[in-house]
Amino acid sequence: MVQSMTAFARHEIEAPWGSLVWELRTVNHRFLELSYNLPDNSRMLEQTLRDLTRSKLHRGKLDATLRINHTVRKTHLQINRPALLQLLATLEQVRRDAPEFSQANPMDLLNWPGILEDRNAKLFDNFMELAEESYNTAMDELITARKREGTKLAGLVGARLQNMDRLVGELKPIIAPLSAALSDRLHTRLEKLKVEVDPNRLEQEIAVLAQRADVAEELDRLAIHVAEARIALENEGPHGRRLDFLTQELNREANTLASKSVLPEASKRAVDLKVLIEQVREQVQNIE
């Protein structure tokens, strides 16, 4: 399925301590470029998110932003009173057995393992899991949006490819009587100039002119490139690079066709072809 490189997705997930919000934006880019704006306490997530993104996206510039909204204080210190009383009782026993020891420093007591606790610490235990889960959901929504827009782009490109086929079909009968048309034009000019030319030489000149103006090969290649572009749209992606290459080839053939066209009807259709190819090229820049 065709995917666009332009999309936006937002996902918010609730937690006991508040909520976190992911915002993902992708725009056109020749390669896959990833940029993450994360809070300091989430930096260790970045490599995991990069690996996940590379498995799902092939091209485009991604800007991912994580915002954290706290509804409770991140830290709420409290004393573990039972542990403190047990520690004080132990110190009292030591002081009775060794009176020379002085009173314990309060900061030393607070630094004793298990005395000072963060009441909200457990609320943040699953923060990393929630952030990764929310990113996955936001990424799925982003891909859905890219596919939705990609389907529309495929329809636009497909319609223009169909018009190219039509123009190529119209050009073939126009160039079929090319030799006769060149012969008539040359004879008319000679009559106006009242010049007599050797018939054999005249036939040779007409043959050379017809060969130079022959665009059958260009028309065949145009038809082949259009068919290849249509096949690319129908197959699994990514499609952008191949379609971009095909539009370059289509443009090259259309330029040659326009330069070799000697009939007004052919010239007009060659210009129409170039317009369609340029429209396809602009749309292809948005396809992954």
Which residue ranges make up each domain of the chain?
77-118, 148-284
Contact 150, 119 (CB under 8 A): no
Burial of 40 per CB tally in 10 Å (0-12, 13-18, 19+):
exposed
DSSP 9-29: EEEEEEETTEEEEEEEEEE--
Residue with tokens 């573990």: 80
pLDDT of 15 reads 75
pLDDT digits (tens, 9 = 90+) for 37-58: 988 778 888 999 999 999 999 9
CATH value of 148-284 in 1.20.140, 3.30.70, 1.10.3470, 1.10.4160: 1.20.140
Between helix 46-54 and helix 127-175 the angle, nearest 10°, is 30
SS3 of residue 19 by DSSP: strand
CA distance 69 to 257: 62
Alpha helices in 176-239 (DSSP H): 178-193, 199-213, 216-234
Name the stretches of the chain with pLDDT < 70.
Answer: 17, 70-81, 83-85, 87-88, 91-92, 94, 97-125, 176-215, 262
Q: Tell me what pLDDT residue 286 has.
A: 92
Would you state the pLDDT for residue 71? 66
Is the whole-model pTM more than 0.75?
A: no
Three-class DSSP category at 79: strand
Q: Are 210 and 182 in contact (CB under 8 A)?
A: yes
